[in-house]
Structure 1
Amino acid sequence: MKVAIPLGIGILLIYYSLSSATTQERAILWNNIKDAPPVYIAVSLMFGVLSHLSRAYRWQYLLQPMGYHPKLSNRFMAVMAAYLANLGIPRSGELLRGALLTTYEDVPFEKAFGTIISERIADFLMLLLVVSIAIVLQTDTLLSYLHEQNINPLYTVLFLAAGVLLIALGFKIIQRAKTGILAKLKDFMAGLVEGMKSILKMRNKWAFIGHTFFIWIMYILMFWVIKFTIPEISYASTGVILAAFVIGSFAISVTNGGIGVYPISIGALFIFFGFSKEGGEAFGWIVWGSQTLLVLVLGALSFLLLPILNRKK
């Protein structure tokens, strides 16, 4: 149900969006996508690859304090395989990523997964920074749009804070257990905490921070450069593009990989700023389609090459 329901919602949204449009609107949407200059899409894909490489490289800074030095190639393929898994089952990629490093690099799963949680915390802080910049640049219009769409980012923050508190409470309960299943979980949790604490033990803190900023700059650039594929959207200001990026960041988690929701949300935001629905949705489809294709290709190749390049494992 966790897989089928979000996927079904995404497909229904695509159907509703296309069926509610007139024949002329569908033709304009298709022509915008079809006539998009490939060079800008290629540059966007390049920025996407650089962000994924930087993520794989940054991972080593969290693993080093625990004495693990996995190959960059294995780290990169684990990252791409995780992104591919998330397209099928949301949030399953983090588990798969840790499991792949355990399989091919002998890093205990709980420690690998702990470092991934630390990464997500750093990325969440970056998302908050981008949201803050977008709100400063487009305060009135962005807040009005969020209100009209019944989207309240504060709920997301509160939900995550509640999750952190529940996890902390769970840790306390498990630490006090002496027998039974909870006692068996204690060693696993100890490794998980060690992995999370690795961010505090890094010798290369500034390099980690630098890679974190680089990853998010690449995210924004791969999004921003696509505006030049749609003549109408090419005149959009940096504030509008950042606002669209923020909306897309929230929308992509609603369904599997943002299918259906992502381009429709992007289109709705551009309409709010005075652009046409066809131009806005075409922009969303090009961004979503190109990056999803990148994940499908690199993720599939990673699944194929991991066992081949690690035959001894």
Structure 2
Amino acid sequence: MSKKSFIKFLKVAIPLGIGILVIYYSLSAATPKERATLWKNIKGANPVYIAASLVFGTLSHLSRAYRWQYLLQPMGYHPKLSNRFMAVMAAYLANLGIPRSGEFLRGALLTTYEEVPFEKAFGTIISERIADFIMLLLVVGFAITLQTDMLLTYLKEQNINPLYTVAFLIFAVGGIVIGFKIIQRAQTGILVKLKNFMNGLIEGMQSILNMRNKWAFIGHTLFIWVMYVLMFWVIKFTIPEISYASTAVILAAFVIGSFAISVTNGGIGVYPISIGALFVFFGYSKEGGEAFGWIVWGSQTLLVLVLGALSFLFLPILNRKK
């Protein structure tokens, strides 16, 4: 195995291994009665609410695909909604294997099937992520406002510090800006090619400033995040104990899940167990909290697996002429 292949293997294996270890530790630490209760809660989940969650999730993905057009239009590109949607779902599926690989795949698929230059497509995806990160910060801020003392105490106990994420992003953006400045001064060699790529990337990112439909973009962004919260919130009715949880507690769990999902491939293991730990912190049973987390994670992961696989299948079929 080459060094490059080995590194790729580690990128998949390490997060996946962490997730499996977390699951093993959680289940082995539970008593037989606790495991039985957890499984009972999952099996007894009302499928109507799970179906509603899947509908909300699908609507969020569809809205994301539709919103993408507002960033592509200023550059003169008008890819079909079907291709945008399938690229989004294929990207989510790729993220289950290698975290954050989906963004690159999404741009590459648009290049392949809609002839949008990769650097420009990828630039629009970065702009999307910035908008989504702002929304996440707003949700975090609202959740903290509702449960300031308890949520901050929980984050401290779990050694989770969202400020580290913010600080990392600030340093990363600063490093990127400095790198851009250096590359922009290049006159020869590979740096010139890199400069041309960066210029296309910047053009894609700047598309958010040149949109004709800014309010429509903002509206879709709000809609996407409302759907995210709803697909999470509605699952509380599948667990009798959790069904009485307040909106503040559900939002707190949503915030924890948003950070936990990036730790392993698709949040496997860490996502449901982190959410379960938060519910325990708020006085709910571990079994009920973890069952809630597993149902949310399992249903949405299944949605991505199905729609992502179908997208990979139908993209080449529906774009044969291209």
TM-score (norm 1): 1.00
Structure 1's consecutive aligned runs of 4 or more residues displaced over 6 angstroms after TM superposition are: none
Shift of the alpha carbon at 1:179? Answer: 1.1
1:77 and 1:164 mapped to 2: Cα distance?
29
Listed one character per residue, the Cα deviations across residues 135-185 of structure 1 (whole Å, up to 9, x for unaligned) are 000001000000111111000000011111111111111101111211111
Listed one character per residue, the Cα deviations across residues 102-150 of structure 1 (whole Å, up to 9, x for unaligned) are 0000000000000000000000000000000000000010000001111
Amino acid at match of 2:129: R
Shift of the alpha carbon at 1:16? Answer: 0.6
Which residue of 1 is the match for residue 248 of structure 2? Answer: 239
Which residue of 1 is the match for residue 143 of structure 2? Answer: 134
1:304 and 1:169 mapped to 2: Cα distance?
41
Task: Report percent identity of matched pairs.
Answer: 86
In structure 1, runs of 5+ residues without a counterpart are none
**Structure-to-structure mapping, 1:145-184, within 5 angstroms:** 145-184=154-193
Q: Tell me which moved more, 174-183 or 211-220.
A: 174-183
Which residue of 2 is the match for residue 78 of structure 1? Answer: 87
2:273 to 264, 278, 293: 264
Matched, 1:307 2:316: yes
Which residue of 2 is the match for residue 56 of structure 1? Answer: 65
1:263 and 1:184 mapped to 2: Cα distance?
44
Paired residues, number: 313
2:27 and 2:245 mapped to 1: Cα distance?
24
Which residue of 2 is the match for residue 107 of structure 1? Answer: 116
Which residue of 2 is the match for residue 95 of structure 1? Answer: 104
SS class of match (1:53)? helix
Shift of the alpha carbon at 1:3? Answer: 1.2
Which residue of 2 is the match for residue 289 of structure 1? Answer: 298
Which residue of 2 is the match for residue 43 of structure 1? Answer: 52
1:151 and 1:108 mapped to 2: Cα distance?
38
2:189 and 2:246 mapped to 1: Cα distance?
59
Which residue of 2 is the match for residue 218 of structure 1? Answer: 227
Matched, 1:29 2:33: no
Matched, 1:125 2:150: no
1:74 and 1:150 mapped to 2: Cα distance?
41
Amino acid at match of 1:126: M
In structure 2, runs of 5+ residues without a counterpart are 1-9
Amino acid at match of 2:210: K
Amino acid at match of 1:84: L
1:7 and 1:134 mapped to 2: Cα distance?
29
**Structure-to-structure mapping, 1:242-253, within 5 angstroms:** 242-253=251-262
Listed one character per residue, the Cα deviations across residues 182-209 of structure 1 (whole Å, up to 9, x for unaligned) are 1111111000000000000000000000
1:83 and 1:199 mapped to 2: Cα distance?
22
Shift of the alpha carbon at 1:2? Answer: 1.5
Amino acid at match of 1:33: I
TM-score (norm 2): 0.97
Q: Tell me which moved more, 193-202 or 164-173.
A: 164-173
Listed one character per residue, the Cα deviations across residues 70-110 of structure 1 (whole Å, up to 9, x for unaligned) are 00000000000000000000000000000000000000000
1:8 to 9, 13, 17: 17
2:202 and 2:185 mapped to 1: Cα distance?
15
1:6 and 1:106 mapped to 2: Cα distance?
34
Listed one character per residue, the Cα deviations across residues 43-90 of structure 1 (whole Å, up to 9, x for unaligned) are 000000000000000000000000000000000000000000000000
Which residue of 1 is the match for residue 4 of structure 2? Answer: none
2:238 and 2:191 mapped to 1: Cα distance?
55
